[in-house]
Amino acid sequence: MAPDTAIDSSADLFYNARLFSQSKYLEDISSMKMTTGLMALALLVGSLPTLAAEKGGVAYVNLPRVMTDSKPGQRNRIELEKLAKDKQGALQKEEQKLKSLQQDFQKNQLLLTDQQKQQKQQEFQAKVEAFQKMQNEARQALSKREGELVNKSMTDIRAIAKELAKEQQYSMVIFLPESAVLHVDESIDLTAKTIERYNAKAK
């Protein structure tokens, strides 16, 4: 059978754990270190209201929400979905060619000599390998573009967070995944303001 052409959904990739700046690190460390890191994060989240009440306190930004709800984030998602669709379409065409070659071989193999069969099989294997290379290149292209968009977004969002911190006299603004925020005073949530300014700067 011809190899499966399915490739990872770029839309899922774009909104995976890489949105949280520590996610790749957390995947690589031991379970003990991971537990320690999560406990520290929980303590930090729990202390946010107290820190925010102090002069030059702490505010936070819900990073996944900025990525998904902002206009630039939505444009990035559309671009990646289109790129994935284009790559998938090209792969499906090549897969169909492989299937046709395989069907022709099965249909005519009784008419072929052993030498001809061997030659056909070698040719087919070479095409399969070329197809697999095409699959890998498609994944790499998606991953590369995703990384470029994420890095650009993070640079812009960090700059906006710094602006807001300076304007509102916060000593620190931290990025948190939504799952880490159980309940925090809305007065220190800069997510909506970050999205608003991100949208304005991206026009």
Neighbours of 45 (CB within 10 A): 17
The secondary structure of the chain, three-state, reads: CCCCCCCCCHHHHHCCHHHCCCHHHHHHCCHHHHHHHHHHHHHHHHHHHHHHHCCCCEEEEEHHHHHHHCHHHHHHHHHHHHHHHHHHHHHHHHHHHHHHHHHHHHHHHHHCCHHHHHHHHHHHHHHHHHHHHHHHHHHHHHHHHHHHHHHHHHHHHHHHHHHHHHHHCCCEEEEECHHHCCCCCHHHECHHHHHHHHHHHCC
What's this model's pTM, rounded to 2 decimal places? 0.68
Q: What pLDDT, on the 0 to 100 scale, is given for residue 182?
A: 63
Q: What pLDDT, on the 0 to 100 scale, is given for residue 57?
A: 85
Q: Which residues of the chain have pLDDT under 50?
A: 1-53, 55
CA distance linking residue 192 with residue 188, whole number of Å: 11
CA distance linking residue 193 with residue 188, whole number of Å: 11
* Residue 198 tokens, joined: 């991100």
Q: What pLDDT, on the 0 to 100 scale, is given for residue 181?
A: 60
61 near 174, Cβ under 8 Å?
Answer: yes
pLDDT in tens, 33-49: 443 344 334 444 444 44
